[in-house]
Amino acid sequence: MRSRYTAYALLDEAYLLATWHRTTRPQSLRLAQDIPPPRWLGRKVLDYQLQDESHATVEFVARQKIAGRAYRLHEVSRFVLTEGRRYYLDGDIAAGQR
């Protein structure tokens, strides 16, 4: 979770795609197309739960500023353990979030 947040802050699309599970991974994220790019201000993990030996969820809130306006991203992300590595599967964004 921390490494993916950092990758978003650094616009490291290659890392994000490499840590995204192949079954749900998009072709690209086009992070560099956001003008101006968001300035990430921090993230807080609210909950972490193991569903079984290979599945987990992480609930978090990440704060960002875009063109001087503050936003909060509240998501419950799903991860899967495959070949010894955790991969992001998908997530549910709280209603009203960007």
| Distance of alpha carbon 5 from alpha carbon 43, whole angstroms | 8
* Per-residue pLDDT at 94: 84
Q: Tell me the pLDDT tens digit for each residue of 27-70.
A: 999 887 877 889 999 999 999 999 999 999 999 999 999 889 99
> Given this model, what pLDDT does residue 31 score?
87
Two tokens at 39?
A: 């300035």
Residue 98 pLDDT > 70 = no
* 2-93 to CATH, choices 3.30.2130.30, 3.20.20.140, 3.40.50.10310, 3.10.450.50: 3.10.450.50
pLDDT digits (tens, 9 = 90+) for 74-97: 999 999 999 999 999 999 998 655
Domain positions in the chain are: 2-93
DSSP state of 20: B
Helix (H/G/I), strand (E/B), else coil: 15: helix
